[in-house]
Amino acid sequence: MVDYRQQAIAGVVPPEAGEAKIREVWPSVASMPAVASLGQTLTRTLVLAPLAWLIMSAVYFGKLLPFAASRYTLTNRRLMIRRGWKGIPSHEVPLARIDDVRVVNDAHSDFFRAGTLEILEGGAVVLTLPGTPEAEAFRIAILNARNAWVPGKVKSMPFIAASAAK
């Protein structure tokens, strides 16, 4: 990754000069459907809501454990799932291979304000990001990064302002 102190304009680094992080999100509880379903059901009751918070907090804070830490990172070169405290990429897709990004909502999407992102190449899903918080905003960031840094892809989709995200 490029040191931000060496950039002429903070956050603007061409891929040829180095890899720079654009955005990073940590998966929400919605990434584990069984826990999300149980938590959502128990939260609707007044008596069992504290139990739901306890169960969901284990998943929520568990993402910080060295063996379970997971995050979705978008750079000026690629989109990746990074794991562990060091953030070693376990799955990645170069921006040049991304044709489209689809948001898949389920029964827990509204409750947790998260959705599943499916990264498409040639009509096939090449990467899935379950439980992505503010999924539509992250989708727009991915497409804008692709349009900005991949020659030839910019004409396939216009720029989408971040304020357009719901």
Residues 6+ away with beta carbon under 8 Å from 47: none
When pLDDT is cut at 50, 70 and 90, the band that residue 91 belongs to is very high
What value does the CA radius of gyration of the chain take, rounded to a whole number of Å?
17
Res 72: pLDDT: 95
Residues 6+ away with beta carbon under 8 Å from 81: 70, 71, 72, 73, 89, 90, 91, 92, 127, 129
Q: Is the pLDDT of residue 22 over 70?
A: yes
Q: How do residues 30-84 score in pLDDT, each as one tens digit?
A: 888 888 888 888 888 888 988 888 888 888 787 777 777 889 999 999 999 999 8
Instruction: Please state which architecture CATH assigns to domain 4-150.
Output: Roll (2.30)
| Range list of β-strands (E), 2-123 | 21-25, 70-75, 78-83, 88-94, 100-104, 114-121
Q: Are 77 and 94 in contact (CB under 8 A)?
A: yes
pTM above the 0.85 mark?
A: no
Res 57: pLDDT: 83
Mean pLDDT check: name the lowest of 3-7, 17-21, 91-95, 126-130. Answer: 3-7
Q: Is the pLDDT of residue 146 over 80?
A: yes
Res 106: pLDDT: 85
Beta bridge partners of 94: 78
What single-letter amino acid sits at 67?
A: F
Question: Distance of CA 107 to CAs 45, 77, 111, Å?
Answer: 18, 33, 8
Q: Are 32 and 57 in contact (CB under 8 A)?
A: no
Residues 6+ away with beta carbon under 8 Å from 82: 70, 71, 72, 73, 88, 89, 90
Cα 67 from chain centroid (whole Å): 19
